[in-house]
Amino acid sequence: MKTDSELKADVTRELAWDARIDETSIGVAAHHGVVTLSGTVSGWAEKHAAEEAAYRVAGLRDLANDIEIKPSWSTTLNDTEIAEAVRRALQWDRFVPHELIRVTVANSGTVTLTGTVRALSERDEAERAVRTLEGVRCVLNRIAIEAPRVAETALHATITQALARRAEREAERVAVNVEGDTVVLTGEVGSWTERRAVVGAARGTTGVRRVDDRLRIA
């Protein structure tokens, strides 16, 4: 286990390493193993990038992301313009069934996505497509999943095979439990990247509507 000072130092270095992030605008604190990010950034993308960078640090298990978003409106976009940009981004992404998704923008940059798609991976891709757009301060992903019904045994087998392909080292340490169309993942992985690979294998499986991620980072 790393000490709080070691966690703080490593997260600070990782933020400085990531070219997407202005580390001078972000504060890092660690207390009893919990890392807290604070400060101000100009958009949702920067806040998310800082969170991703922190989770890449080995030994980090718990994170509080208290970074505030305060856009520097050198070019001011109103909600109508942001909504138009969001719709274009969804249309340009060939992995997103844009015709099934509704977009609402309010409160100077809060984007709400609704509608129904066929898989969790499509829901995730829709959010990825819009969260880096200029003017977007927050993304509320309320897209529902209308996946085909798949037998629990078939879901379990498909996910287990995907884990063996994508995260061979972690497959033996991860337990996959299927409860209807919900997948519960428990066990240990070696890093945030490996955790994301395991969760991604479950979220990308047809028939899964929800993933309950209870994995621990060893």
pLDDT in tens, 66-109: 998 876 655 578 899 999 999 999 999 999 999 999 999 998 78
Instruction: Decide if 74 is inside a domain.
Output: no
Which pLDDT belongs to residue 167?
62
Q: Which one of 124, 145, 166 terminates a domain?
A: 145
Number of domains into which the chain is organized: 3
What's the order of all strands across the beta sheet hosting 182-189? 174-179, 182-189, 210-217
User: Max Cα separation, the chain?
Assistant: 55
- CB under 8 A, 24+ apart: contacts of 100-103: 101/126, 101/143
Tokens for 153?
Answer: 């045994």
Give yes or no: residues 22 and 57 share one domain. yes
List Cβ neighbours of 73 (8 Å cut-off, separation of 6 or more): none
Label residue 43 by pLDDT band (50, 70, 90): confident
Give yes or no: residues 140 and 156 share one domain. no
pTM of the predicted model, to two decimals? Answer: 0.67
List Cβ neighbours of 89 (8 Å cut-off, separation of 6 or more): 129, 130, 133
Give yes or no: residues 158 and 196 share one domain. yes
Q: Structural domain of residue 169, as residue ranges?
A: 152-217
